[in-house]
Amino acid sequence: MFGLDKKDTMLLLLVAALTALAPFLLNPFPEGSAMAQFNAGYPDLMQRFVIFGIFAIGFNILFGLTGYLSFGHAAFLGVGSYAAVWMFKLLSMNVLPAIVLAVVMSGIFALLIGYVSLRRSGIYFSILTLAFAQMMFALAYSVLTPITGGETGLQLALDDPRILDGAVAANGNIPVPGLFGMEMRDSVQLELGAWVFTFNFGYYFSALVMLISFYIAIRIFRSPFGMMLRAIKANQQRLNYTGLNTRPYTLAAFVISGMYAGLAGALMASMDPLAGAERMFWTASGEVVLMTILGGVGTLIGPILGAGAIKYMENIISKINSDILHSWFAFLPDGLEDLLVTLVYPFIGKGWHLTLGIIFMLVVIFLPGGLVEGGQRIARLFKSKKTDRSAPKPQIEPGE
Amino acid sequence: MSKTNLTRRGLLRSGAVAGAGVALPTIFTGSSVAAFTNEPTGSTVTLGFNVPQTGPYADEGADELRAYELAVEHLNGGGDGGMMNTFSSKALNGSGILGKKVQYVTGDTQTKSDAARASAKSMIEKDGAVMITGGSSSGVAVAVQALCQEAGVIFMAGLTHSNDTTGKDKRANGFRHFFNSYMSGAALAPILAKNYGTDRKAYHLTADYNWGYTTEEAIRNSTEAMGWETVAAVKTPLTQTDFSSYIAPVLQSGADVLVLNHYGGNMVNSLTNAVQFGLREKVVNGKNFEIVVPLYSRLMAKGAGANVKGIYGSTNWHWSLQDEGTKAFVKSFGTKYGFPPSQAAHTCYAQALLYADAVQRAGSFNPCAVAEALEGFEFDGMGNGKTLYRAEDHQCFKDVLVVRGKENPTSEFDLLEIVEITPVEQVTYDASIFGGQLGTCNPGA
């Protein structure tokens, strides 16, 4: 289907089903129960899952295929956000022009930065991209304050022009981003017994965009262009010796992944019309590297899983405080309760980074292929029990 | 490349999945009918305390959280009631808010606008918080305030000192109890003139972000108005930890006063560097060299240690004040935690109580009703004397404290002494000078 082979079609449909049913899947615990703490099915977080999924998919096109590790990808996320918010301020609260401008702007920035940075490879490339990103962060934070809003961030105001649809909404407030009359924050709630499921328009819009991005990524992975990128990862020197100029390929990959980041930035701004400079800080660039590695570098679905895992921890684990811990262990005798709380406390709340670090280390050491490899191992375990595997299909592998 | 493998079964299956996906958001229309966002329907009401638990302002955040926990305890009738007893409005009675028990959720702003908004959003969308409060940075306050305006909940700002929070970026759903840069300038200038004379040459070091700019501007305007000259204003990166290279040119510039528009760790480092360079022993233009820190806090004074001795600054509140409200608050905070509260704790505690009182008086949690109850509200007994919540910009107007680093501190908390309580008339300004529009209150839903 859609020019994909059976396996890829299944993968695409699986991702589509997961995103469509996310409001159910992420809210497994009834409202008001002790476990409701772990529910992630509220609009903001679901939006983050898919938006960072897009960011990570794009990053994987560069890092997973060519092996070029960019440490400055958050810069394009920021560029996309600023471009989108400026579109909201100047033109219209419709998200489409914002997304288009964001993708174009981040593409231009990626072209410039990529043109310079891709003259080097390996660690030098990483450092160059990091330097550019930090430079852009510093500019956005102070010198370019009139354009970026500085530390406060760029936000909408009541006296913005908004040429197409007027500065002020009917209720006298700043209008909210939408798509032809549908507001991004529109939600309907479904109450089934003790469960409450929220279906948010912004989420489904982002999810649709993610599915399209995912589909494009699959096509790139399976195309001759993708094969060329893999060849660059496998042995760039050899490729050069055969008389091929690899730079146009790497530059194209860099620009494409920069545009993905810009798209993610635009969606972030569409869900929440504010763009802050921290979005470009180097830790944000590092986060997408973590997401990709945690999920599985060079795999299709890995980055989405990694993005989900990290955002889940950031938003759920970080909100558990000591009071909640005490209520969990309340059934235990006092001394034991306090002991358990003391033991668990460093890993929750503000200690979520520690938890993330440990999980990341475990994954890198025991599952070098990321969460995807974990899934494959489990699948293999079940398969080998059921039936003998049929002879493996001969596959074309790039030469090492 | 384009390999199409259409089978009847595959098509049916994928069609069904896609159809279900498309139809899902539309087949359910049963949305709950509420008058406003997160209307509390049960026997409890949830407030969201969004404070920095990590990052440069984690100390302030921790103290804010302590204050909020204390406020919740008092609202629910626990403890000794603290400032509820001295507060001029007697609407609160210790039975929660409107008879509903107060519960709270906490979040970490990380002193980043994005993280703060994510945290506030999850409180609103997931936990059903009807009011968000806290924060220790103006950037975060402005960002979260705008979010609360969109979502239709009340925002009670924590520690935020920039003029923008209730100036350029004010919002109808947002309220600030803390003072601002303009007030600092207006309060400090006369004291500086009295102690250092009116013919000084000032050199500014300014933290390179929004709060730094507005503070520098405010101090410049008010000192220049009384005859000082500004020699230079140099911006320093927020992440700077060693200010030696910025301090060295100060002496060559011919300036005889150094103004440090720094806060938190920045101020601790820059002041320490300046003192190490021997600036305070220097005599320039026949006058002793002086240092001024516009925004002071006890936590900063603690960080800078002996270096703060004799240095002037302004503060919103200090625990050594002798009015009834302050005494009651310091007593109940000290009993619970064993040390006196910081100004961040005080403003947050006051904000929580002010919100609860406004709800009680309005008889509703509806943000529009609460905003109406707060606008133009005059009160006393919250530690700052007579205070007005101005309706035009949702800024509190009250006396401002000018403080000085104590020469002989008696304890690690007794680091600042109050030089003057600047009366509110002297720091009041016209609501329109910073621009911005309040908009109209948004009840959401």
Look at A4 and B112 and tell me if their CB atoms are within 8 Å: no
What is the distance between the alpha carbons of residues B175 and B389, in angstroms, rounded to a whole number?
8
Tell whether B303 and B391 lie within a shared domain.
no
What is the distance between the alpha carbons of residues B427 and B186, in angstroms, rounded to a whole number?
6
Q: Which residues in A lie closer than 8 A to residue B136 (C-beta atoms)? A: none
Rounded to the nearest 5°, which phi and psi values hold at B319? -65, -15
Which chain A residue lies closest to B25 (C-alpha atoms)? A199
What is the distance between the alpha carbons of residues A263 and A281, in angstroms, rounded to a whole number?
18
- Asked whether residue B92 is assigned to any structural domain, the reply reads yes
Tell me: pLDDT of B27 over 60. no
What's the total number of domains in chain B? 2
Beta-bridge partners for B48: B105, B132
More confident residue, B11 or A156: A156
User: If DSSP states are collapsed to H, E and C, what string results for chain B?
Assistant: CCCCCCCHHHHHHHHHHHHHHHHHHHHCCCCCCCCCCCCCCCCEEEEEEEECCCCCCHHHHHHHHHHHHHHHHHHCCCCCCHHHCCCCCCCCCCCCECCEEEEEEEEECCCCHHHHHHHHHHHHHCCCCCEEEECCCHHHHHHHHHHHHHHCCEEEECCCCCHHHHCCCCCCCEEECCCCHHHHHHHHHHHHHHHHCCCCEEEEEEECCHHHHHHHHHHHHHHHHCCCEEEEEEEECCCCCCCHHHHHHHHHCCCCEEEEECCCHHHHHHHHHHHHCCHHHCEECCEECEEEEEECCHHHHHHHHHHHECCEEEECCCCCCCCHHHHHHHHHHHHHHCCCCCHHHHHHHHHHHHHHHHHHHHCCCCHHHHHHHHCCEEECCCCCCCEEECCCCCEEECCEEEEEECCCCCCCCCCEEEEEEECHHHHCCCCCCCCCCCCCCCCCC
- Residue A387's pLDDT is what? 54
- Asked whether residue B113 is assigned to any structural domain, the reply reads yes
Q: At what angle do helices B138-151 and B210-225 cross, to 10 degrees?
A: 110
CA distance A39 to chain B (A): 9
Q: Nearest Cβ partner of A20 from B24, B115, B147?
A: B24
- Asked whether residue A343 is assigned to any structural domain, the reply reads no
What's the total number of domains in chain A? 1
For residue B109, which of B57, B161, B181 has the smallest C-alpha distance?
B57
Tell me: pLDDT of B30 over 50. no
Tell whether B214 and B174 lie within a shared domain.
no
- Asked whether residue B364 is assigned to any structural domain, the reply reads yes
Complex ipTM, two decimals?
0.80
What is the distance between the alpha carbons of residues B349 and B140, in angstroms, rounded to a whole number?
19
pLDDT level of residue B81 (50, 70, 90 thresholds)? confident
Tell me: pLDDT of A169 over 60. yes
Look at B106 and A150 and tell me if their CB atoms are within 8 Å: no
* Whether the Cβ atoms of residue B434 and residue B168 lie closer than 8 Å to each other: yes
Residue B141 tokens, joined: 């306050």
- Asked whether residue B430 is assigned to any structural domain, the reply reads no
Q: Which residues in B lie closer than 8 A to residue A6 (C-beta atoms)? A: 5
Tell whether B167 and B198 lie within a shared domain.
no
> Domain range holding B155?
44-179+319-398
Tell whether B50 and B156 lie within a shared domain.
yes
Q: Which residues in B lie closer than 8 A to residue A158 (C-beta atoms)? A: 437, 439
Q: What percent of chain A has pLDDT over 70?
A: 95
Tell whether B244 and B343 lie within a shared domain.
no
- Asked whether residue B38 is assigned to any structural domain, the reply reads no
- Asked whether residue A392 is assigned to any structural domain, the reply reads no
Category of B381 on φ-ψ map: left (φ > 0), alpha (ψ -120 to 50) or beta: left
Ranges A103-107, B92-96, B440-444, most confident: A103-107
Tell whether B108 and B204 lie within a shared domain.
no
What is the distance between the alpha carbons of residues A397 and A232, in angstroms, rounded to a whole number?
13
Instruction: Confirm or reject contact between B44 and chain A (CB < 8 A).
Output: no
- Residue B13's pLDDT is what? 64
pLDDT level of residue B17 (50, 70, 90 thresholds)? low
- Asked whether residue A317 is assigned to any structural domain, the reply reads no
- Asked whether residue A57 is assigned to any structural domain, the reply reads yes
Can you tell me the mean pLDDT for B128-135?
91
Q: Which CATH number characterizes residue B95's domain? A: 3.40.50.2300
- Asked whether residue B23 is assigned to any structural domain, the reply reads no
Tell whether B360 and B382 lie within a shared domain.
yes
Which of A152, A190, A192, A204 to probe by mutation at the B interface, max B CB count within 10 Å?
A: A152
Residues 6+ away with beta carbon under 8 Å from B289: B256, B257, B258, B279, B280, B281, B282, B283
Q: Which residues of A329-363 are buried (b: 16+ CB within 10 A; e: fewer)?
A: beeeeeeebeeebeebeeebbbbbeeebeeebeeb
pLDDT digits (tens, 9 = 90+) for A245-275: 999 999 999 999 999 999 999 999 998 888 8
pLDDT level of residue B28 (50, 70, 90 thresholds)? very low
Which chain A residue lies closest to B105 (C-alpha atoms)? A319
Tell me: pLDDT of A203 over 70. yes
pLDDT level of residue B128 (50, 70, 90 thresholds)? confident
- Residue A397's pLDDT is what? 57
pLDDT digits (tens, 9 = 90+) for B370-424: 999 999 999 998 888 899 999 989 999 999 999 998 888 888 888 888 898 999 9
Can you tell me the mean pLDDT for B99-107?
90
- Asked whether residue B375 is assigned to any structural domain, the reply reads yes
- Residue B31's pLDDT is what? 43
pLDDT level of residue A398 (50, 70, 90 thresholds)? low
Tell whether B171 and B266 lie within a shared domain.
no
- Residue B20's pLDDT is what? 52
- Asked whether residue A116 is assigned to any structural domain, the reply reads yes
- Residue B5's pLDDT is what? 59
Can you tell me the mean pLDDT for B88-96?
88
pLDDT level of residue A209 (50, 70, 90 thresholds)? very high
CA distance A73 to chain B (A): 17
- Asked whether residue A262 is assigned to any structural domain, the reply reads yes
- Asked whether residue B30 is assigned to any structural domain, the reply reads no
Tell me: pLDDT of A4 over 70. yes
Instruction: Confirm or reject contact between B120 and chain A (CB < 8 A).
Output: no
Domain closes at, from B266, B299, B315: B315
Beta-bridge partners for A384: none
**A217-221, A349-353, B32-36, range with the lowest pLDDT:** B32-36
Residue B9 tokens, joined: 């079964």
Tell whether B257 and B331 lie within a shared domain.
no
Tell whether B132 and B213 lie within a shared domain.
no
Tell whether B192 and B279 lie within a shared domain.
yes
Instruction: Confirm or reject contact between B91 and chain A (CB < 8 A).
Output: no
Q: How far is CA B380 from CA A111, A361, B83, B118, in A?
A: 60, 55, 10, 35
- Asked whether residue A179 is assigned to any structural domain, the reply reads yes
Tell whether B186 and B104 lie within a shared domain.
no
pLDDT digits (tens, 9 = 90+) for A20-44: 988 888 888 887 777 777 888 888 8
Look at A278 and B115 and tell me if their CB atoms are within 8 Å: yes
pLDDT level of residue B32 (50, 70, 90 thresholds)? very low
Look at A188 and B28 and tell me if their CB atoms are within 8 Å: yes
> Domain range holding A209?
6-29+38-281
Tell me: pLDDT of A349 over 90. no
Q: What percent of chain A has pLDDT over 90?
A: 36
- Asked whether residue A327 is assigned to any structural domain, the reply reads no
CA distance A353 to chain B (A): 11
**A49-58, B8-17, B155-164, B310-319, range with the lowest pLDDT:** B8-17
Can you tell me the mean pLDDT for B209-226?
89
Residues 6+ away with beta carbon under 8 Å from B395: B166, B170, B176, B180, B389, B431
Instruction: Confirm or reject contact between A15 and chain B (CB < 8 A).
Output: no
Tell me: pLDDT of A322 over 90. no
Q: What percent of chain B has pLDDT over 90?
A: 38
Q: Which residues in B lie closer than 8 A to residue A19 (C-beta atoms)? A: 21
> How many A-B residue pairs are in contact by the CB < 8 A criterion?
162
Q: Which residue has the tokens 């005494």?
A: B327
Domain closes at, from B258, B284, B315: B315
* Whether the Cβ atoms of residue A256 and residue A60 lie closer than 8 Å to each other: no
- Mean pLDDT, chain A, whole residue set: 86
What is the distance between the alpha carbons of residues A246 and A249, in angstroms, rounded to a whole number?
5
Can you tell me the mean pLDDT for A284-300?
89
**A7-16, B28-37, B230-239, range with the lowest pLDDT:** B28-37
Q: Which residues in B lie closer than 8 A to residue A198 (C-beta atoms)? A: 125
Q: Which residues in A lie closer than 8 A to residue B238 (C-beta atoms)? A: 141, 151
Beta-bridge partners for B44: B101
